[in-house]
Amino acid sequence: GAVVSQHPSWVICKSGTSVKIECRSLDFQATTMFWYRQFPKQSLMLMATSNEGSKATYEQGVEKDKFLINHASLTLSTLTVTSAHPEDSSFYICSARVASGYEQYFGPGTRLTVT
């Protein structure tokens, strides 16, 4: 149980374009989902917290107009990187919190490369 999927697993896009990453909880309902980015050999940095049906809460220093988060249902959250630039290249990972508990279960991650 507690399986989270992400799509795509990797994506290459050109500078200036936008890319959408999907995060789904497959066997549970997630009232809260989280988006992280991870640079090589570094730990996870929380970007934003999203609650179903409400606006996401962004961490300090994260541009909300650049990283658009939508949490339209209890099983799906999306992250759209708008007008991507090479410095946005990173490993993006989502997680979902089980409604009845405190643990976060993570997706497999999405490798974004902006050329």
Partner 1 sequence: EDQVTQSPEALRLQEGESSSLNCSYTVSGLRGLFWYRQDPGKGPEFLFTLYSAGEEKEKERLKATLTKKESFLHITAPKPEDSATYLCAVQASNDYKLSFGAGTTVTVRA
Among 11, 13, 22, 46, binds partner 1 (CB under 8 A): 46
Smallest separation (angstroms) from partner 1 to the CB of 12:
16
Q: For the segment 55-94, give every residue that binds partner 1 (CB under 8 A).
A: 91, 93
Is the CB of 16 or the CB of 53 nearer to partner 1?
53
Q: Is residue 4 near partner 1 by the rule CB under 8 A?
A: yes
Distance, in Å, from the CA atom of 37 to the CA atom of 73, rounded to the nearest integer, reads: 22
Contact 95, 79 (CB under 8 A): no
Smallest separation (angstroms) from partner 1 to the CB of 83:
26
C-alpha dist (Å) from residue 61 to 9, 24, 26, 48, 109? 26, 26, 31, 11, 22
Smallest separation (angstroms) from partner 1 to the CB of 55:
16
Contact 4, 71 (CB under 8 A): no
